[in-house]
Amino acid sequence: MAPVQTEIDELRQTLRRHEHLYYVLDQPQITDAEYDALMRRLQALEAEHPDLLTPDSPTQRVGGAPRDGFVKVAHSSPMLSLDNALNEGELNEFLSRVAALAAGDPVQYVAELKLDGLSMAAHYRDGLFVQAVTRGDGQVGEDVTTNARTIRSLPLRVAGEWDAFEVRGEAIMTRRSFEKLNAGRMAAGLAAFANPRNAAAGGLRALDPKVTAARGLDFHAYLLLRDGVPVMQSHWESLNELSRLGFKVNPHRRLCGNAAELREFLAEWERRREELPYEIDGVVVKVDSIPQQNRFGWTAKAPRWAIAFKYAARQAETVVEAIEVQVGRTGALTPVAHLRPVAVSGVTVSRATLHNEDEIRRLGVEIGDGVLIERSGDVIPKVVRVTAQGADRRPFRMPAECPVCGGHIVREESEAASRCVNTNCPARLKESVLHFASRPVMAIDGLGEAVVDQLVDRGLVRSVADLYDLTAGQLAGLERMGQKSADNLVRNIDKSRANPLPRVIGGLGIRFVGERTAQLLAQTFGSLDRIREADPETLCQAEEVGPKVSASIREFFDEPRNLELVERLRGKGLRFDHPIKERTTGRLAGKTFVLTGTLPTLTREEAKARIEAAGGKVSGSVSGKTHYVVAGEEAGSKLAKAQDLGVPILDEAGLTALLND
């Protein structure tokens, strides 16, 4: 075998093992950077040897070109639904029916979590993933193979003796991915998804596989079939086999010998469901023995050998008594519904977010209306829909002045949110201080909401810089603050001066500049002063900084009040410098590239990955410091600028030559 083939094989094997460890078992053994380096090496080899590319390669999870629609595919056997048991009584009825059908034979049950996503069938032939189909109407689904490839926990290749088999399971989105997705959508002025299931369904059925990939879907397997029927004699064993084959099988499952064990499992997960990183809506109970399953058979809609025990919906109806607005750190006004208190799965809910004016319009909600609300995870409850219009309903109007400081309110054309423009607004200030002190930013322990409220209300803190002047004496005078906590807090504030520059940048609260951007800015420019002095074009030299972010940074530093804050923080001894770690190894170390236009074979990401793998840097804009511009078809102003400045221009072949030199 050619040595490249051997290296490619080994890389694929290594990557697959680490994907399984990371995405299926949740036990990574290497860092993300190490994984990325291996992946880039494999991508580079495959690009050089396109003949050696195979569809099961770990590089093929990125998603291909968008399509116009989906091909319909008939299922090997119907993907039916399950009957529901909504309470103990209905569960008991199911258990009695099964006992009668078993006619005296002992029955074992498998209890599994009922993940709230959408079901999908994945087909394998000769150890390779070949096709994925959505449930559709149960008889016919849609071919979503390319999209499913982007699901990292779905193996593209399995070892095992099965020549052809099918795995059915649930495609889901974790709460964390869901919240991140919605936060991003809201920041971009797009409508938020109502729940992770809708976001997962949209992702799996997206025409552009890159959309699927970005949603970070997960797949939990629960049925192993061949020719549409179970392969093994025991469902429990088939779950174990799926896990051995490398599929993610939900670890929270139990083989129950009697009804008491089953009930214990149901009660345990009703109590613990909030601990899970994804949403469940109940527990699925299945008869373990496949011969018994076959004897019991199916009704037109569902199997007689299984039931979905549904937990009480975490929704409830109540009335909107008022709508008030809250002011956030960026001055964004969030309308919040004040509700007649109502119990939702054990928690009393009296407030729900309405996000923004567009959301209020979409819901058509007014003060006095009856609404359905929903609690999910730890997030603040939200209004699902209006159930009854109130007799004396009154529409909500966004105030013209900030309810906290009386400042001017503006709503930009392109944005969903209205904002208070007064940077000294106490509500904004409180949020800024909390943000400044938070874990990912300056990590000042002991500076929680109760303390910050008092500090701002008593005028002890008018800007985050004032934190560094606080004395233990002042703090000890606050409510619920002892001498010891006061001393600790002063010490923690003091310690935070040593935080590296990216944290300081994060602490300034510049819009669109989160942890990662702060890190990249610090790395690119090496000091806060260089960032402050940079024009928008120069700022774009930092990775991932585009026109929107650079404009926001510029706007921040153009505001005299912000400059004053920066100078005060400098005076308090915070770190304003950041040693730049230049890669000094690699063929392209120290060289800066700018990519423009469409290259004939490489995507922009691929070209970037290769340049970086060789130690080079990719920047967003051309300047005197650019070493090369790589131009493809339809290159625009960057190419013209490179020509003006006399920067060497390469085509893809030129870049490849440089990389392989």
Nearer to ligand IVH, 308 or 425 (CB): 308
- Please identify, using beta-carbon distances, which residue of 279 and 374 lies nearer to ligand IVH: 279
Q: Which residues pair with 352 in a beta bridge?
A: 337
CB of 109 to ligand IVH, least distance (A): 13
Residue 102 beta carbon to ligand IVH: minimum distance, rounded to whole angstroms: 18
Shortest Å, Cβ 167 to ligand IVH: 12
Query: Amino acid identity, residue 34?
Result: E
Pick the closest to residue 320 from 357, 369, 360, 391 (CA basis).
369
Q: How far is the CB of 583 from ligand IVH (least distance, A)?
A: 46
State the minimum distance, in angstroms, from the CB of residue 194 to ligand IVH.
18
**Which residue number is nearest to ligand IVH in terms of Cβ?**
119
Task: Please tell me the distance from the alpha carbon of residue 519 to that of residue 526, in angstroms, as a whole number.
Answer: 10
**Of the two residues 117 and 335, which places its CB atom closer to ligand IVH in the complex?**
117
Binding residues (CB under 6 A) for ligand IVH: these are 80-82, 112, 114-115, 119, 170, 222, 284, 303, 306, 308
- Closer residue to ligand IVH (CB): 303 or 500: 303
Minimum Å distance from CB 195 to ligand IVH? Answer: 14
- Cα–Cα dist 600/652, whole Å: 7
Q: Identify the CA nearest to 303 among candidates 243, 223, 247.
A: 223
3-class SS string, 197-235: HHHHHHHHCCCCHHHHHHHCCEEEEEEEEECCEECCCEH
State how far the Cα of 408 lies from the Cα of 558, in Å rounded to an integer.
20
- Contact predicate 145/124, CB 8 Å: no
What lies within 8 Å, CB to CB, of 40 at 6+ separation is 609, 610, 612, 613
Choice between 115 and 539, CB closer to ligand IVH:
115
- CB-nearer residue toward ligand IVH: 184 or 228: 228
Buried b (16+ CB within 10 A) or exposed e, 314-323: bebebbbeeb
Residue 197's CB is within 10 A of a number of other CB atoms, namely: 21
Tell which residue, 367, 382, 357, has the closest CA to residue 322: 367
| Least distance from ligand IVH to the Cβ atom of residue 203, Å | 15
3-state secondary structure of 636: coil
* 544 conformational bin, left if phi > 0, alpha if psi -120 to 50, beta if neither: left
Given the structure tokens 């629609």, which residue do they identify?
69
- For residue 125, the minimal CB distance to ligand IVH (Å) is 23
Question: What minimum distance in Å lies between the beta carbon of 111 and ligand IVH?
Answer: 9
Nearer to ligand IVH, 175 or 578 (CB): 175
Q: Are strands 628-631 and 84-85 parallel, antiparallel or unpaired?
A: unpaired
3-state SS, residue 175: helix
Q: Which is nearer to ligand IVH, 305 or 436 (CB)?
A: 305
Both structure tokens of 370: 């009856």
Q: Which is nearer to ligand IVH, 82 or 534 (CB)?
A: 82
Query: Minimum distance between the CB of residue 213 and ligand IVH, rounded to whole angstroms?
Result: 22
By C-beta, is 215 or 419 nearer to ligand IVH?
Answer: 215
Please state the closest distance from residue 222 (CB atom) to ligand IVH, in A.
4
C-alpha to C-alpha distance for 67 and 208, rounded to whole angstroms: 7
Cβ nearer to ligand IVH, comparing 56 with 261: 261
Catalytic residue among 72, 114, 248, 591: 114
- Three-state secondary structure string covering 365-385: CCECCEEEEECCCCCCCEEEE
**CA dist., res. 472 & res. 475, Å (int):** 5
d(CA 513, CA 370): 39
Which residues contact residue 542 at a Cβ distance below 8 angstroms, ignoring those fewer than 6 apart?
517, 520, 521, 523, 524, 525, 619, 620
CB 510 within 8 A of CB 552: yes
| SS3 of residue 15 by DSSP | helix
Residue 486 to residue 176: CA distance in whole angstroms: 34
Contact at 8 Å (CB) between 438 and 456? no
- Beta-carbon contacts of 497 under 8 Å, excluding residues fewer than 6 positions away, are 468, 572, 573, 574, 575
Q: How far is the CB of 135 from ligand IVH (least distance, A)?
A: 6
Separation between Cα atoms, residue 264 and residue 260, nearest integer Å: 6
Q: Is 212 exposed, middle or buried (0-12, 13-18, 19+ CB in 10 A)?
A: buried
| The CA-based dihedral angle spanning residues 609, 611, 615, 619, taken in that order and rounded to the nearest 10 degrees | -90
114 is catalytic: yes
**Which lies closer to ligand IVH via its Cβ, residue 11 or residue 172?**
172
Residues with catalytic annotation?
114
